[in-house]
Structure 1
Amino acid sequence: MDVGELQAYCLAKPGAWADFPWEHEHPVIKVGPEGAGKIFAFLSATGVGVKGGATREVADEWLQRFPGDASVMRYIGRSGWNDLSFEGAIPDEELLDAVDDSYRLIVAKLPKKHRPEGWDTQGVA
């Protein structure tokens, strides 16, 4: 898995779009209308920041399972956000599952009028 593949995966989700709110090489991926969109993935060259769970306790499961490859995100980690590395022991499928979970958690918090059609079927087999 690399940042390009993960970016394409994120942007294939209903209502997803790339934004560059800060001067970084890679975008954040948001869902929802411009001006009201919310971030569900922070992309970097070596990993992705995702909402790891509804609570910090749930997000901490990633830290326990992958202690060298998952870490609490700076500044927003207390809200359940984790950084997950592409370069370590986390399987690609689990990275994609983490993005799916982050997407669903963020979209569920959007006002119903801002939720994209088909969002609730994403990642459901």
Structure 2
Amino acid sequence: MSNQADHTIVRLRVPPELKEKIEKAAEENNRSQSAEMVSRLEESFQQNNNATDKFIEDLLKQLKIEYASLEVKYQTHQKTLENLEKTYREHLNMYEKQIQFMNQSYESQINNLLNALADYKK
């Protein structure tokens, strides 16, 4: 790699076995050892980015699944609440009718007693 303004020289110590692997890979890829090292370093950063992107993607999928599950539970609870409210209103209406009937019945009985008492006094 030439000493260009868009590149910086970095001295790097590597074990001999790694140096041999770099030489072999550079030859196989038809590029300089410097270009091979730069390419592999860039690839490692890209893999990290890809891993992060995959993690975020998987996390979003999991959140969507969890949201869908919560939505189903919410709908179920809403339906249960609606049914409870309906049952409550029905019972309340029934009790109100029973109370009205009892009031009318008591009123009628009281009137009958008052009439009987009035007839008795005559």
* TM-score grouping bracket, smaller chain normalisation: under 0.3
Of Structure 1 and Structure 2, which has the larger fraction of its residues in strand? 1
Q: Which has the higher helix share?
A: 2
Please give the TM-score of this superposition, normalised by the length of structure 2. Answer: 0.21
